Amino acid sequence: MDDMLRNVVFAHDNIFYRGGAGQIFSDRGRWPWERYLRFSASLTVAARMQEMPTTLVVDDVAPSSHTDVSFVPIPSLSDPISKISQRGEARERLSEALGEADGLVARLPSEIGSAAIRVAESLQKPWAVEVVTCPWDSLWNYGNWQGKAYAPVAWLQMRRLLKKSPFAVYVTAEFLQHRYPSSGRTLGCSDVELDLSRAALERRLARVSRGDHPFVIGLIGYLGARFKGIHVALKSISLVKNQLPPFRFRVLGSGNAKPWIEMASEVGLTDHVEFCGTLPAGDPVLRWLDEIDLYVQPSFQEGLPRSLLEAMSRGCPALGSTAGGTPELLPPGSLHQPGDSRTLARQLVELASDRNRQREQAVHNFGVAARYQSSVLDPIRDGFWRTFATSARQSRSPSK
Given this model, what pLDDT does residue 236 score?
A: 98
Q: How confident is the model at residue 59 (pLDDT cuts 50, 70, 90)?
A: low
Q: How confident is the model at residue 399 (pLDDT cuts 50, 70, 90)?
A: very low
| Cis amide bond preceding 109, omega within 30 | yes
Angstrom distance (rounded) from CA 263 to CA 222: 16
Given this model, what pLDDT does residue 152 score?
A: 92
Structural domain boundaries in the chain: 5-193+374-394, 198-370
pLDDT at 395 over 90: no
Superfamily of domain 5-193+374-394, CATH level 4? Glycogen Phosphorylase B; (3.40.50.2000)
Summarised one tens digit per residue, pLDDT across range 273-299 is: 999 988 877 889 999 999 999 999 999
CB 16 within 8 A of CB 64: yes
Angstrom distance (rounded) from CA 364 to CA 361: 5
DSSP string across 182-212: -SSEEEE-----B---HHHHHHHHHHHHH--
Question: What does the H/E/C string look like for 267-296?
Answer: CCCCCCEEECCCCCCCHHHHHHHHCCCEEE
Summarised one tens digit per residue, pLDDT across range 309-352 is: 999 999 999 999 999 999 999 999 999 999 999 999 999 999 99
The more confidently predicted of residues 1 and 58 is 58
Give this prediction's pTM.
Answer: 0.89
CATH code for the structural domain at 198-370: 3.40.50.2000
Given this model, what pLDDT does residue 398 score?
A: 53
Given this model, what pLDDT does residue 230 score?
A: 96
3-class state of residue 37 by DSSP = helix
The more confidently predicted of residues 1 and 237 is 237
Q: How confident is the model at residue 128 (pLDDT cuts 50, 70, 90)?
A: very high
- 198-370 matches 5-193+374-394 in CATH topology: yes
DSSP 214: P
Given this model, what pLDDT does residue 400 score?
A: 44
Summarised one tens digit per residue, pLDDT across range 88-114 is: 999 999 999 999 999 999 999 999 999
DSSP string across 108-127: ES-HHHHHHHHHHHHTT--E
β-sheet bridge partners, residue 321: 336
pLDDT at 357 over 70: yes
Over residues 154-163, the mean pLDDT reads: 95
Given this model, what pLDDT does residue 312 score?
A: 98
